[in-house]
């Protein structure tokens, strides 16, 4: 693999490659498992996403809302925190849902003209 490789082995409960083996070949490894760093899971976005839709009283989901949610998720990790074992916030991060909800609500309200 090239230097700086990234592996997203997201199958659950058994990722496509064992995370311990993946770390031998990549700088960044993410899995769907909670027992390894960089857990990628839909729970990272869905609570906040739906809260934002409800708050905006939106009747649709748009690509712009999805992009806003992804950017909000990324913005939760600060430059100081960012590293090979912390590319995405924990599902237990206290501000995560609120941050995502705010971003989705703002986009939904703009699209409705509010």
pTM reported for the whole predicted model: 0.86
Decide if 30 contacts 40 (C-beta within 8 A).
yes
Tokens of 45: 């976005």
Question: pLDDT tens-digit profile of 35-93?
Answer: 999 999 999 999 999 999 999 999 999 999 999 999 999 999 999 999 999 999 998 99
Tokens of 11: 């199958």
CA-CA distance, 114 to 103, in Å (whole number)?
A: 14
Tokens of 7: 């592996």
Beta bridge partners of 97: none
Tokens of 105: 């609500």
């Amino acid at each position: 693999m090239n230097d700086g490789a990234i592996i997203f082995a997201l199958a659950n409960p058994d990722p496509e490659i064992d995370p311990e083996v993946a770390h031998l070949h990549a700088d960044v490894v993410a899995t769907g498992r909670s027992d390894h760093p960089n857990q990628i899971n839909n729970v990272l976005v869905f609570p906040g996403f739906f809260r934002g839709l409800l708050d905006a009283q939106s009747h649709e989901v748009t690509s712009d809302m999805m992009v806003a949610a992804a950017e909000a998720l990324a913005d939760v990790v600060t430059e100081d925190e960012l590293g090979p074992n912390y590319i995405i916030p924990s599902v237990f991060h206290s501000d995560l849902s609120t941050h995502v909800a705010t971003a989705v609500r703002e986009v939904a309200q703009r699209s409705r003209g509010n």
